[in-house]
C-alpha cells in the first residue's frame, strides 16, 4: 500500500497558546488553520538556559522522500505564551491540520518540555468537538503534573527537561475528512528555588497517510 506524507508540524509562532485551558488552545488552533479569529500565536523564547536539548533536523534532511513540503518546514522552536515563567504555572498549546483522506494515518512525534507535560492527539470537528482520542485518556504523560515535583520526584539527573519524549502510532483513522487532526499540550513549569526557572515547549510531529483504504 502506498503511503504519502501529509504534514510536518513543528513548534513555532503558528502554534496556538492559551493560559486558561487546553480547550481554548484547541479552539484557537482550529481558527488558525481555518483563517478565523481570535487566535493567539505562541512566543519564540529561544534556548533560555542555553542547556536545553535541541530538536533539530539533519543537515541533509530528506524526510518524506525529499518532498519539499516536508523538508522546508522549519525545525522546532522553543515556545511559551510569554517571556516570563512563574513557577507552578500551566500553559496550553495546540496545532491543527485538516484530514484530506479517510485512510489510515501514521503519526510520529518527539517532544521536549520544561518541566512536565501531557500530549493529546485527537480528531476534532471544525468547531472543536472531540470526535476521538488517539492518545490515552488524560494524555500521554511526561512527569508529574504537580508544581512541587521538582522537590519530591524530579530530583536527580536526567531531569524531566532533559528527556525527549517519543511516540508514534498507525491506526489513526478519521471519521470524516471534514475534521482535523489536533495535537495539544498541557505544560507545567515546576516550582524551584533556583534563580532561573524557565518554561518551554518544543515539538516535532510528522503525519503520513495511506493512499488507499
Q: How far is the CB of 191 from Ca ion (least distance, A)?
A: 9
Helix (H) or strand (E) holding 117: strand 116-124
Name residue 185's beta-bridge partners: 93, 119
Cβ 65 vs Cβ 1: under 8 Å: no
Name residue 169's beta-bridge partners: 107
Residue list 188-207, contact with Ca ion (CB under 5 A): 189, 197
Q: How far is the CB of 48 from Ca ion (least distance, A)?
A: 9
CB-based contacts of 190: which residues, under 8 Å, 6+ apart? 87, 88, 115, 116, 147, 148, 149, 150, 154, 160, 197
* 114 belongs to the binding site for Ca ion (CB under 5 A): yes
* 115 belongs to the binding site for Ca ion (CB under 5 A): yes
Q: How far is the CB of 111 from Ca ion (least distance, A)?
A: 15
Residue 114 or 206: the one with the smaller Cβ distance to Ca ion is 114
Residue 77 or 154: the one with the smaller Cβ distance to Ca ion is 154
- Grid look-up 515546576 returns 190
Select from 1-9, 12-20, 45-53, 106-114 the region that touches Ca ion (CB under 5 A): 106-114
What does the binding site for Ca ion look like in residue numbers (CB under 5 A)? 114-115, 189, 197
Amino acid at each position: 500500500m502506498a503511503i504519502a506524507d501529509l504534514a510536518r508540524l513543528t513548534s513555532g509562532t503558528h502554534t496556538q497558546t492559551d493560559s486558561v485551558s487546553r480547550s481554548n488552545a484547541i479552539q484557537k488552533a482550529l481558527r488558525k488553520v481555518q483563517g478565523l479569529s481570535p487566535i493567539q500565536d505562541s512566543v519564540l523564547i529561544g534556548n533560555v538556559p542555553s542547556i536545553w536539548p535541541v530538536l533539530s533536523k539533519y543537515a541533509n534532511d530528506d524526510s518524506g522522500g525529499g518532498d519539499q513540503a516536508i523538508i522546508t518546514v522549519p525545525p522546532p522552536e522553543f515556545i511559551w505564551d510569554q517571556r516570563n515563567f512563574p513557577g507552578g504555572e500551566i500553559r496550553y498549546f495546540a496545532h491543527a491540520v485538516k484530514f484530506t483522506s479517510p485512510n489510515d494515518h501514521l503519526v510520529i512525534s518527539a517532544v521536549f518540555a520544561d518541566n512536565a507535560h501531557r500530549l493529546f492527539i485527537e480528531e476534532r470537528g471544525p468547531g472543536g468537538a472531540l470526535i476521538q482520542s488517539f492518545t490515552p485518556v488524560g494524555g500521554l504523560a511526561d512527569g508529574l503534573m504537580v508544581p512541587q515535583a521538582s522537590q519530591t520526584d524530579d530530583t536527580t539527573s536526567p531531569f524531566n527537561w532533559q528527556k525527549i519524549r517519543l511516540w508514534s502510532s498507525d491506526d489513526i483513522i478519521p471519521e470524516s475528512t471534514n475534521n482535523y487532526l489536533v495535537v495539544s499540550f498541557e505544560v507545567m513549569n515546576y516550582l524551584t528555588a533556583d534563580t532561573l526557572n524557565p518554561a518551554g515547549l518544543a515539538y516535532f510531529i510528522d503525519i503520513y497517510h495511506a493512499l488507499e483504504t
